[in-house]
Chain A
């Protein structure tokens, strides 16, 4: 076999291999092409270009994806992400043209269907080890009374040496966050609400309260 013939034979072999690669990936390639096109549209739209007609064409071409099984969960996530990005460039529905309104409703339809197509994570509880105890009505008033007495004691302790209620809240939040003190958490929430009712700006304290709450909840789970 001459060198020329060898090269020809190799060319045929490689072409045939790549043709089979394309054939094997034909379905995925269609999806990838569609997502790639949507990505282009979203990019151009974010540069300020009017892509209303293009996105309309895209929907017309790919609507069947909502009913057939071409898309994987990752594709659905990707498409809904790109559509959400595209939506940001659209005017509010009240100011939109009829074409834009149609796009808004198509995006909503895709997002809704996407949620249905996404797999759900189902957590199942293990069976109870013991039969549940009969529930008697607890003495809620008595329990709250005890709690209030304890909170008052905590409040008085924390107030010592401080000149402002905000310093007290700060200390209580630290105690809740660092020591996992649930009484301090409840008391700080109570004081923050009181301060809010009296016109204080409480956002930073609310943020700290949420952080402390998360830490406490996590601690309870880890325990």
Chain B
């Protein structure tokens, strides 16, 4: 059998290949306890997590930090 975390790491990379980033994050998260000290793993995991967060942010319908209000005075 593949040892702890290897199966999930492999599934995460395959999910990246399919561009299924959410699934990749889930698989990376399951593999994470076994690869805590693996720098490459951590870079891939954090990058994917950041990408998912960015995509979530972009997907929000109203994505304005501030509302600009302009007062208009007719005839005046």
Contacts and interface: CB of A to CB of B under 8 A. Distances in A.
Interface of A: 3-4, 7-8, 10-11, 14-15, 17-18, 21-22, 25, 29, 32-33, 35-36, 39, 42-43, 78, 82, 85
B16 interface: yes
B58 A7 contact: yes
B1 A14 contact: no
Interface string B1-15: 110000100110110
B13 A22 contact: yes
Question: Chain B interface mostly helix, strand, loop or mixed?
Answer: helix
Contacts of B50: 10, 14
Given A8-B58, A21-B44, A3 B63 contact: yes
Contacts, number: 57
Interface of B: 1-2, 7, 10-11, 13-14, 16-17, 19, 21, 44, 47-48, 50-51, 54-55, 57-58, 63, 65
B44 A11 contact: no
B51 A4 contact: no
B51 A39 contact: no
A6 to B, nearest CB: 10
Given A3-B63, A21-B44, A39 B1 contact: yes
B14 A14 contact: no
Nearest to A40: B7
B13 A32 contact: yes
A33 B13 CA distance: 9
Contact of B51 (A8, A15, A29, A36): A15
Contact of A7 (B7, B10, B47, B54): B54
A96 to B, nearest CB: 24
Contacts of B10: 29, 32-33, 35-36
A25 B58 contact: no
13 contacts: A8-B58, A11-B51, A15-B51, A17-B47, A21-B13, A22-B13, A33-B10, A33-B14, A35-B2, A39-B7, A42-B1, A78-B2, A85-B1
A11 B2 contact: no
A93 B55 CA distance: 55
A21 B21 CA distance: 13
Contacts of A35: 2, 10
Given A17-B47, A35-B10, 6 more contacts: A11-B55, A18-B51, A22-B17, A25-B13, A32-B13, A36-B10
